Chain A
Amino acid sequence: MKAAISEKMKTLYVVPLTVIIMSGGFLLLRTGMMNQVLTTVFAIIWGTASVLLLFYSLNLLAQLMKAKLYNAVIPYIFIGPAVLIMGWYLFVPTIRSLILSFMDKRGEHFIGFGNYAYVFTDPTMLVSIRNTIIWLVSGTVFSVLFGLIAAVLADRSQIEKLGKTLIFMPMAISLVGAGVIWKFIYAYRPEGDTQIGLLNAIVTACGGKPQNWLGTAPANNLFLIAIFIWLQTGFALVVLSAALKSVSSEMIEAARIDGAGEFRIILQIVIPSIAGSIVTVSTTILLAALKCFDIVFSMTNGLYGTEVLASQQYKQMFKFLHYGRGSAIAIVILLAVSPVIWYNLKEFNKKEVF
């Protein structure tokens, strides 16, 4: 009984204290009396402390309720602030983009579906839609295929760890970083000059003429996608490799005794057993391909017919300052992503796929 009273007393001073600290710190920051470094340090300490205090006070407040009610409410208290903030950062911008996509360049006047008409009629946009589809299909298919092949081979190999490490390593490189590396691989110098690009050095060493790999559409898209595959295969490999370990060895043994060949085992036993993982990996890579902007941006900047939706969105929004078109492209990308995300979530709820 005494403990309960002191709990209540605690509530009585902790809650107002929280309010004072939170609003006081906020007001103090807003005056801008401190210099940049001090502001940053203060904001970090105050921000973290405020969050801790907030949860602590909310919990104290909740404890005032009856036990049954407390149990019902407490999960919402802990997840609530996060959901609200996430909502603020994700939901509000989405709605704003949706509204802007129906507005003119500066987002001042309603113009109906004009921006969407632009997205689906402008020649550059049509090229970017075509390229995005090429990216989605070949980027995803080859990443998963190579990942799967590597996983199966690694599973039966003496040098599994080394092989997997080598293939996985590019995952650690950022997309822009990969772009810079591959720029040197694809580099072109006129005939007769020293070729500084790996690919052209090989071609000329074999007696061929140096090629401008990134210069001709639509083939250049595949050269860009190769970079993406190089990066993503490692991801597919790791996930699929883990899934392979869970395929029951008795089943494979049994198949082998029944006289099935290796190929038949892989196609009819292994792959069906890890289908869930394959789907998850595919959808994840699909999303990455759909959003892929960095490689195009750093390699060709969308020139020579390599524009994709994401790079066009960036250009429209931040270079041409056309908020309407930029938002319309963003919404198109969002709509294209949604079914994949929805499917992924559904699968995720159904079972533990990873």
Chain B
Amino acid sequence: MINKGMKAVALVFSTAAVLGLVSCKGNKKSSTAKSTDDKTIRIFGAFRGEEAARFDEIVKLFNEKTGCNAVYEGSPEFETQILVQAEAGTPPDIAAIPQPGMMKNFARRGFIKPLSKEVVTKIDENYAPVWKQLGTADDGKVYGVFHRVNAKSFVWYPKKAWEAKGYTVPKTWDELTALENKMVANGDTPWSIGFESGAATGWVGTDWLEDVMLRTAGPDVYDKWVSHKIPFNDPAVMNALNYVGSIMLNGKYVYGGTTNILTQNYGDSIKPLFENPPKAYMNRQGNFITGFMPEDVQAHLEEDVGVFALPSIDPKYGTPVLGGGDQFVAFSDKKEVQEFMEFLTTWEACAPWAKVGGALFPHKNQNFDDYGNAIERDIAKILVNATVFRFDASDMMPAEVGAGTFWTGMVDYVSGKDAKTVLTAIENSWPKSN
């Protein structure tokens, strides 16, 4: 009797509980399907602070034009968060993804929607083919639009102090080595390098290796390296790493030696250049580093800061440009989302940011005069006119390597492990299958 009653009761409340649970689940889902007619667009990305504020201006422009309500939100844990949101069925409408590999992953799993024909036509018109290719997934469809991008093959120097010392911009690697030695002889320190970047510590090192790799082995070998057609411990990579090591592991060449490379934040690493007298004279970093310079330097960028492309090593390959950028992908079918994507391909959506500074755009239809300062204008020209542009290799490799062992491997290398051990360890970590 008791047993029977209990069973009945158990049945009743288990049904009720399941109902409650299902409702929780449904509740979550509902926010994705949330009213297709309301014009709110949620955009999610990794950049925050000043960069987000500048992007907000672009979003505002779009909202004024279309009457939509697009809102941007940035998170330092973007890579993790976007995945969790996509899998939970609560993605944003648009996400700005820094890694082409992640875009391909999302496309394969059906999380993101291909761009409309109109947007793809605009991409064909306004971008070099490499950018369309980077936004194309394995199924051959185009998913991503690039807006602000960065170029990283630049060496920055404190113009006034540099000229006072009579240093000249090196055109070749040999000239660079001669300059480094001259600086050391003068009692100066050539480089300031900082690897520290929170959860992403080490990426500065991977950028260095990639840049050198493009110069010693050329873009074709670089592509094979990225797609793992040659192993990670291939002699070509070893050779490039030794070039990097000839600078980084030389205590006289780098401010604070290897310990400081590891502990110094990448943004802070530009600051020693602008002390009086400078504690170091060169910093190899992307265009975004200007945003980390001391405020008084930023105010007089053209007078205080000099920049040159990292010199060529093998004349055959010239000075290729390494870069990266967030691609915007759509998670929802809303009409406004495609409108926003199309907006991003126009120069109208870039000019305000170019004026304020801190951003480069790959758009062919851009007006270089819109850049707020000569330095960014020159860099933009280098980027748009570069014969060889390659996307940051670590962002293209599988996450285990590109956001894992490659970063930690560069840290290990600078900590004192030998090149062969480091590269072999990275090679062994390359996932056997997808």
Contact = CB atoms under 8 A, between A and B. Distances in A.
A33 B263 contact: no
A190 B40 CA distance: 50
A175 B111 CA distance: 34
Interface string A301-312: 111100000000
A16 interface: no
B201 interface: yes
Interface string B355-398: 00000000000000000000000000000000000000000001
Interface in A318-340: 318-322
A54 interface: yes
A5 interface: no
B33 interface: yes
Contacts of A30: 23, 26-27, 29-30
B408 A81 contact: no
B34 A35 contact: yes
Interface in B389-434: 398-400, 403-404, 408, 411, 415, 425, 431, 433-434
Interface in B21-43: 21-23, 26-27, 29-35, 38, 40
B105 interface: yes
A32 B255 contact: no
A88 B20 CA distance: 12
Interface stretch (B77-85, B124-132, B227-235, B307-315): B77-85
Contacts of A31: 30
Interface string B93-121: 00000000000010000000000000000
Contacts of A193: 256
Nearest to A18: B16
Q: Considering residues A22, A104, A190, A193, which has the most beta carbons from chain B within 10 angstroms of its beta carbon?
A: A190
Chain B contact patch, size range: 35 or more
B260 interface: yes
B332 to A, nearest CB: 12
Interface residues of A, number: 55
A215 B35 contact: no
Contact of B263 (A73, A188, A191): A188
A124 to B, nearest CB: 8
Contact of B408 (A23, A77, A84, A303): A303
B79 to A, nearest CB: 7
A214 B201 CA distance: 14
Nearest to B80: A318
Given A77-B9, A80-B13, A320 B30 contact: no
B80 A81 contact: no
Contact of A29 (B16, B23, B433): B23
Given A22-B19, A188-B259, A320-B400, 8 more contacts: A26-B19, A26-B26, A32-B32, A69-B1, A76-B6, A84-B17, A297-B199, A303-B201
Which 3 A-B residue pairings sit nearest by Cβ, starting from the closest?
Answer: A190-B256, A26-B23, A32-B30
